[in-house]
Amino acid sequence: MSQPPVALVTGGGTGIGAAVARRLVEDGYAVVVAGRRRDRLDAVVAQLGDAVTALELDVTDAAAVAAGVGGLERLDVLVNNAGGAIGLSPVESGDLAEWEAMYATNVLGTVRVTQAALPLLRRSPRATIVNVSSIAGERVYAGGGGYVAAKHGESVVSETLRLELNGEHVRVVDVRPGMVHTEEFSLTRLHGDRDAADKVYEGVDRPLVADDVAACVAFAVGLPQHVNIDALVVKPVAQAAPHLLHRGPIDWKDGS
């Protein structure tokens, strides 16, 4: 019996990463979920079963990445999902430690894991790198300077890597979600302030959820190998742009 294709999903213990793992398992992949918190990874494994393996990994730790990715026997798909936002300070008063942390995870973490994974990916006929960036990777907004800079950096890494791999069979996909209601994104960004985090989504009729982004990742991965989705921007209907968000009901014409 042939072995299933293997996907590595960073930030795989919660939110979008866990949802991507679930979709790829449904599509026949063996999935390695990587992340810093072992308890979250183990919960994903318990939910999804034997097709999933946990890899405790901090993408900012070069030795851990080299050992963890280097310990894989094969790899067909890499989903660089680890990252996130911290704070909403203006540039003038921004906490540079927060800026550095966001750059370290979103940009350097993506590059570090990609560097470690490429030798394995080049052996695979399905070789695909999916970087989960953000609409912040192409649009700026006040108060988002550190995150916007980091996500612009991550998206530029995708674009540059695609140029450098031209002529090879490796696909590079940049998925750029808008507002996604997950359990941790805004809570982390707002330093654990639950009330403030809840207000981010208040009144928004059907923001994206993690499964919506996972469906986009699975779509891009599942296309024939000669088809590359360079950038896939996905937003809820209520969000026309980062700065234009409708708060209030939408008549969906579906009775719900």
In whole angstroms, give the CA distance from residue 24 to residue 9: 10
Pairing of strands 244-245, 239-241: antiparallel
pLDDT (tens digit per residue) in 150-189: 999 999 999 999 999 999 999 999 999 999 998 877 777 7
Q: What is the pTM of this model?
A: 0.94
Residue 254's pLDDT band, with cuts at 50, 70 and 90, is confident
Query: What is the pLDDT at residue 194?
Result: 85
In whole angstroms, give the CA distance from residue 98 to residue 199: 22
In whole angstroms, give the CA distance from residue 113 to residue 62: 9
Give the H/E segment covering residue 31: strand 30-35
Structure tokens at 228: 């590359």
Residue-averaged pLDDT of the chain: 94
Query: What is the pLDDT at residue 256?
Result: 61
Structure tokens at 47: 């939910």
Query: What is the pLDDT at residue 1?
Result: 53
Query: What is the pLDDT at residue 132?
Result: 97
pLDDT (tens digit per residue) in 7-22: 999 999 999 999 999 9
Q: Which listed residue (29, 103, 141, 147) is catalytic?
A: 147
- In the numeric block, the tokens 């996905």 are attached to 234
Residue 224's pLDDT band, with cuts at 50, 70 and 90, is very high
| pLDDT over 70 (residue 236) | yes
Alpha helices by DSSP H, the chain: 15-26, 38-48, 62-70, 96-103, 110-121, 145-164, 185-189, 194-200, 210-222
Query: What is the pLDDT at residue 107?
Result: 98
Query: What is the pLDDT at residue 255?
Result: 64
Pairing of strands 6-10, 30-35: parallel
The reply to whether 29 belongs to the active site is no
Query: What is the pLDDT at residue 227?
Result: 98
Query: What is the pLDDT at residue 213?
Result: 98
Residue of higher predicted confidence among 204 and 192: 204
Q: Cβ(138)–Cβ(176) under 8 Å?
A: yes
- In the numeric block, the tokens 């359990």 are attached to 183
Query: What is the pLDDT at residue 195?
Result: 83
pLDDT (tens digit per residue) in 35-74: 999 999 999 999 999 999 999 999 999 999 999 999 999 9
Query: What is the pLDDT at residue 188?
Result: 78
Percent of the chain residues past pLDDT 70, beyond the cut: 99
φ/ψ bin of 205: left (φ > 0), alpha (ψ from -120 to 50), beta (otherwise):
beta
Residue 196's pLDDT band, with cuts at 50, 70 and 90, is confident
